[in-house]
A and B are shown apart, each in its own frame.
Chain A
Amino acid sequence: MVDRVLNVEDMSVKYPGRGGLITVVDQVSLSVDAGKSLVIAGESGSGKSMICQALLGIVPGAGQVSGTRMDWRGKNLLELDEAGWRSVRGSEIAMVFQDPTAALNPLITVGSQIIDVIRTHRRCSRSEAKNRAIESLELAGFSEPAQQLRRYPSELSGGMRQRVAIALALCCEPSLIIADEATSNLDVSIQAKIVTLLHELKDKLGLALIFVTHDLGLASEIGGDLLVMYAGSMVEYGPVQSVLDNPSHPYTIGLLQSAPTLHSTRDNPLKPIPGQPPRPGTIGTGAPFVERCPVAVQGVCDRKRPTWTRVGAGHQVACHRFALDKEGGSL
């Protein structure tokens, strides 16, 4: 039986701007099952962090979240009040922020911060909480976890702060962890440890995981589904391996081609996708990628927003070119 813990349909995030609302996340639909993972990749500024923050009710500034549904284990996140959010945040859904420094209080030791979080959500003694804190730090890859308790965030390296943030997310045993570039500051060996840990938590405890990364090699290790975002919109969605083996959106293909490998040197230059992403609020009625697309269909891609076309089992792409080629229609 699949236990669909999170089910989101047509979620948007908008900001008031000159001349009306500016859409930064445009009708995103996604779901995650217990024990499964969803990787979100995509262009810088495409709305990945916004999606994560919307799922925790912490969109920054004047952002407005709307959608047809945002169901979390029988609760409707769209209707939660502040007290309702407090009971979800941290204990049911925990997030590792892209910016670990902002997530930590610089004036409080690492130990006290983790212990406080544990005791806010779980009824337990201080010493029990302390043991739990040490355990979480160890899980997050610290070889001397107890020694970190007394330290202040400023005494830690960038990667150590990131691991403290991971420990904070783990400490209350949430059912869903949202990790926003949570390992991007870590060297590959510690990254590998954390990926292994996340797999264990998924398999043993049924943890659901949303993992934001720009590293597609890492995405394939996390597994599950992959959502590719471009300029606030979903452009491709499907099982990670299927998307990587059979990338079907020109943006996804461009991403895969611009990744450096261990064999890249300056003599064979990387191939970034030419041009710039559109600014939020300037996307026309056509496909968001149309201006940079090497295979855009004149008169189609610049006019109409593409809808989903099936690529394979559970794998879909929002691309006119793909749809036309699949139909066998030539232009």
Chain B
Amino acid sequence: MTPIIDAKNITKVFGASRSPHAARALNDVSVDVYPGETVGVVGESGSGKTTLARIMIGIESATKGQVYKDGHLLESRVDWRNLRLNVQYVFQDPFTALCPTMRIGAALAEPLSVHKKCPASERLGRVSEMLKKVGLHPDMARRLPVQLSGGQRQRVSLARALMLEPSVLICDEIVSGLDVSVQAQVLQLLVDLQKDLGISIVFISHDLRVIRYLCDRVYVMYKGEVVEQGKTGPIFENPSHQYTKNLLASIPGARHDKSTPVVQVTS
């Protein structure tokens, strides 16, 4: 089977490479995603997860390396534009992802009208339906982003990405600001979407419990490199890299027991 997205040997250096402050955010990273699977990406803060996601949808360019969609190398701007029609990215930061002056309803309807996906008369209904799916009241459509709480905005960004019925969804920390009940609802929605529509999901999260629940495979990133990858179960039961071991040991539930000291990562 051909991967639906295949990012090969990606290196990203920010800033002019001659500058002494040039920062290597990614170093020879390869990630592939097959149709219908959920791939988790975990890693320490600053390890390059968001940069990788941005490169995979072409809003950032790689210093080295290529991205293939269904086996075709993406080169021209048209290639990337077509990719973004069926690969949607839900930003880590829901506050900047939404236009502050646009009402929620208009923000959700926009992709439909831009891509002429459905007749204008149906848009309102589609917007209400999607708001309900992410656990929000259809009345929210009348609000501005500033009138929503953090978790409500996070769900609006997800709803917006789902409006175009993408075949791949890249989610960057989308459940980190949600209470566990709403989080469970959103995770269930993703599982259902996958079952019903067979979409592929790239799920970036620092929450290993959520990754464990949702993902078939997982990539562990550390300092700009993939240090471990494979099926989720085996990696969680038997991590081989020290960073993965540290991560697993410092999960709040695992730390829950007062007798176990808080684990510190030696850097």
Contacts and interface: CB of A to CB of B under 8 A. Distances in A.
User: Is B a genuine binding partner of A?
Assistant: yes
A184 B137 contact: no
A46 B178 CA distance: 11
A43 B23 CA distance: 39
B92 to A, nearest CB: 5
B24 interface: no
Nearest to B263: A192
Interface of B: 14, 21, 23, 42-46, 49-51, 92-93, 95-96, 135-137, 139, 146-152, 155, 172-173, 176-185, 187-188, 191, 206, 208-210, 212-214, 233, 236, 246-248, 250-256, 262-265, 267
Nearest to B96: A101
Contacts of A187: 42-45, 206, 247
Given A189-B263, A192-B255, A258-B184, A264 B212 contact: yes
A48 B182 CA distance: 15
A157 B180 contact: no
A260 B147 contact: no
Contacts of B188: 269-270, 272
A134 B187 CA distance: 39
Contacts of A78: none
The B interface, classified by DSSP as helix, strand, loop or mixed, is helix
B233 to A, nearest CB: 8
Range of interface residues on chain A?
35 or more
A255 B180 CA distance: 6
Given A44-B179, A99-B95, A217-B256, 15 more contacts: A41-B179, A98-B150, A150-B21, A155-B23, A157-B49, A157-B51, A158-B93, A158-B172, A162-B45, A189-B263, A215-B180, A217-B251, A254-B181, A258-B180, A262-B236
The A interface, classified by DSSP as helix, strand, loop or mixed, is loop
15 contacts: A43-B182, A44-B178, A98-B150, A155-B23, A157-B46, A157-B50, A181-B176, A187-B42, A188-B250, A191-B250, A214-B178, A218-B252, A260-B180, A262-B209, A279-B137
A186 interface: yes
B262 A262 contact: no
Interface in A44-63: 44-46, 48-49, 60-61
A327 to B, nearest CB: 29
A265 interface: yes
B209 A189 contact: no
B146 A61 contact: yes
Contacts of B256: 217, 220-221
Given A44-B151, A266-B214, A259 B180 contact: yes
A63 to B, nearest CB: 10
